[in-house]
């Protein structure tokens, strides 16, 4: 602890140049949070994208009807991107969460349905889980994105997860849909009524969680909901199916 304060003191007298939020290496230019080497290692999704599943287009027929219209992902849930998400969620690297949120501005700007949204929300953790973790990674992402886009971030507890649902990771698609059905609620409908809402989440697997959160926003009177996520897990491959 003592040496930590010594370090803080030294940094106040001799400010360090900003470092990459992922590797702590030097940044090549101002106004970015990640170095080009870290960004270059990310499994980004490029080229034409399917609006319903966020996978490469044509995706080979994704199924399911969603409450959200328009979906974009920064990349795939693998390699360096998966590692970064883990470092935000489990190591509490908040700077990295904000940095990933800023990167989301790229895919959002490419899609009119998302670009035109006027307010930003995130898929919230249940308050119990947030208390345990001390922060909500979705909020960090949304904050970074809002900063980058110059869009308004809806205040905390506008959209809430009021049912502490069991982890989705071991469930199949239909079980996931049932698991999160009705898990979200809008506490202040006036904040979303008549607005196009951009909903942010870290990982999208079946889409069930984003669907449930978007349904709650629509029920509260949102005009429409677009979704952007950092990573797609199991995206439909060409000729494959959304599992
Ligand atoms: Zn780096
Ligand atoms: Zn698709």
Residues 199-216: tens digit of each pLDDT: 999 999 888 899 999 999
What pLDDT shows up at residue 205?
87
Please name the helix (run of DSSP H) or strand (run of DSSP E) that holds residue 87, with its range, or none: helix 79-89
- The CA dihedral of 123, 141, 224, 193, to the nearest 10 degrees, is 80
Distance 23 CA to ligand 1 centre (A): 4
Whole-angstrom distance, CA of residue 232 vs CA of residue 152: 25
Residues with CB under 5 A from ligand 1 (ion): 20, 22-23, 25, 35, 38
Compute the C-alpha angle 25/108/89, nearest 5°: 50
Q: What is the mean pLDDT of the chain?
A: 88
pTM of the model: 0.87
Ligand nearest to C-alpha 80: 1
Please list all protein residues whose beta carbon sits less than 5 angstroms from ligand 2, which is an ion. 50, 52-53, 59, 62
Phi and psi at residue 229, to the nearest 5°: -130, 160
Tell me how far the alpha carbon of residue 48 lies from the centroid of ligand 1, in angstroms. 27
| Cα–Cα distance, 29 to 26 (Å, whole number) | 9
The structure tokens listed for 12 are: 């106040």
Domain 43-232 falls under CATH 3.40.50: yes
Q: Is the pLDDT of residue 62 over 70?
A: yes
More confident residue, 60 or 113: 113
Using one digit for the tens of pLDDT, what is the confidence trace for 128-184? 999 999 999 999 999 999 999 999 999 999 999 998 876 666 667 677 667 787 899
In this structure, the dihedral spanned by the alpha carbons of residues 131, 136, 139 and 143, taken in order and rounded to 10 degrees, is 100
pLDDT reading at 235 higher than 60: no
Of the bound ligands, which one is closest to the alpha carbon of residue 33?
A: 1
Which residue would you say has higher pLDDT here, 109 or 65? Answer: 109
Report CA(27)–ligand 1 centroid distance (Å): 8
Residue ranges per structural domain of the chain: 1-41, 43-232
Q: What is the CA radius of gyration of the chain?
A: 18
């Amino acid at each position: 602890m003592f040496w930590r304060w010594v370090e803080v003191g030294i940094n106040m007298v001799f400010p360090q140049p900003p470092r990459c939020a992922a590797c702590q290496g030097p940044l090549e230019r101002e106004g970015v949070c990640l170095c080009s080497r870290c960004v270059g290692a990310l499994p980004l999704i490029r080229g034409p994208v399917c609006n319903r599943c966020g996978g490469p287009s044509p995706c080979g027929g994704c199924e399911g009807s969603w409450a959200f219209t328009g979906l974009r992902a920064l990349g795939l849930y693998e390699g360096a991107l998966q590692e970064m998400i883990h470092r935000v969620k489990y190591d509490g690297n908040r700077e990295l969460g904000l940095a990933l949120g800023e990167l989301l501005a790229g895919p959002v700007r490419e899609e009119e349905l998302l670009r035109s949204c006027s307010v930003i929300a995130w898929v919230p953790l249940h308050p119990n889980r947030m208390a345990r973790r001390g922060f909500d990674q979705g909020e960090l992402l949304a904050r970074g994105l809002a900063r980058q886009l110059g869009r308004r971030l809806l205040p905390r507890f506008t959209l809430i997860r009021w049912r502490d649902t069991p982890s989705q990771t071991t469930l199949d698609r239909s079980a996931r849909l049932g698991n999160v059905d009705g898990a979200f609620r809008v506490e202040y409908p006036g904040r979303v009524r008549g607005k196009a809402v951009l909903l942010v989440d870290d990982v999208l697997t079946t889409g069930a969680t984003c669907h449930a959160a978007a349904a709650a926003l629509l029920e509260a009177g949102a005009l429409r909901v677009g979704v952007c996520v950092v990573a797609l897990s199991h995206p439909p491959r060409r000729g494959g199916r959304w599992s």
